[in-house]
Amino acid sequence: MAVEYECCESQFFIHILIVVFLVLFAGLMSGLTLGLMSLSLVDLEVLAKSGTPKDRKYAEKILPVVTRQHLLLCTLLICNAAAMEALPIFLDTLVTAWGAILISVTLILLFGEIIPQSVCTRYGLAIGASVAPFVRVLVWVCFPVAYPISKLLDYLLGKEHVALFRRTELKTLVNLHGNEAGKGGELTHDETTIIAGALELTEKTASDAMTPISDTFSIDINAKLDRNLMNLILEKGHSRVPVYYEQPTNIIGLVLVKNLLTIHPEDEIPVKSVTIRRIPKVPETLPLYDILNEFQKGHSHMAVVVKQCHKKSPASGVVKEVRVDVDGEKSNSLKSKRSFHKWKSFPSNGSNGSYRSKKWNKDMNSDILEIEGKPLPKVAEDEEAVGIITMEDVIEELLQEEIFDETDHHFDNS
pLDDT of residue 306: 87
CB 59 within 8 A of CB 51: yes
Distance of alpha carbon 410 from alpha carbon 403, whole angstroms: 11
Residue 379: per-residue pLDDT = 62
b/e string for 226-254 if b means 16 or more Cβ within 10 A? eeebbeebeeeebebbbbbbeebbbbbbb
Q: What is the pLDDT of residue 372?
A: 66
Is 80 exposed, middle or buried (CB count within 10 Å of its CB: 0-12, 13-18, 19+)? buried
Output the pLDDT for position 139: 93
- Counting DSSP H helices and E strands in the chain, the numbers are 14, 11
Identify the pLDDT of residue 135: 92
pLDDT in the model for residue 293? 85
Contacts of 376 (CB under 8 A, 6+ apart): 221, 245, 252
Q: What are phi and psi of 241, to 5 degrees?
A: -125, 120
Give the pLDDT of residue 73. 92
Regarding pTM above 0.95, the answer is no
Whole-number Å distance between alpha carbons of 115 and 111: 6
Q: List domains and CATH numbers for the chain.
A: 2-157 (no CATH), 167-200 (no CATH), 206-399 (3.10.580.10)
> How many whole angstroms separate alpha carbon 380 and alpha carbon 361?
20
Q: How far is CA 380 from CA 5, 320, 332, 384, 385, in A?
A: 108, 15, 30, 7, 10
| Per-residue pLDDT, 329 | 36
pLDDT value for 49? 86
The vertex-257 CA angle with 256 and 258, nearest 5°, equals 90
Beta strand 247-256 with 219-220 is unpaired
SS3 361: coil
| Alpha-carbon span 317 to 332, nearest angstrom | 38
Q: Using CA atoms, how far apart are residues 349 and 42, in angstroms rounded to an integer?
A: 41
The whole-number mean pLDDT for each consecutive block of 10 residues of the chain, a chain of 414 residues, reads 57 82 89 85 84 88 88 92 83 71 76 84 87 92 92 81 71 80 75 85 86 88 89 87 86 87 86 85 88 80 79 39 34 40 38 40 54 65 79 86 65 44
Q: How far is CA 214 from CA 131, 210, 221, 249, 350, in A?
A: 69, 11, 18, 9, 21
Whole-number pLDDT of residue 365: 42
Quick one: pLDDT at residue 384?
75
Question: What is the helix (H) or strand (E) element at residue 154, kind and residue range?
Answer: helix 143-157
pLDDT of residue 327: 34
| Contact partners, residue 126, CB within 8 Å, separation at least 6 | 58
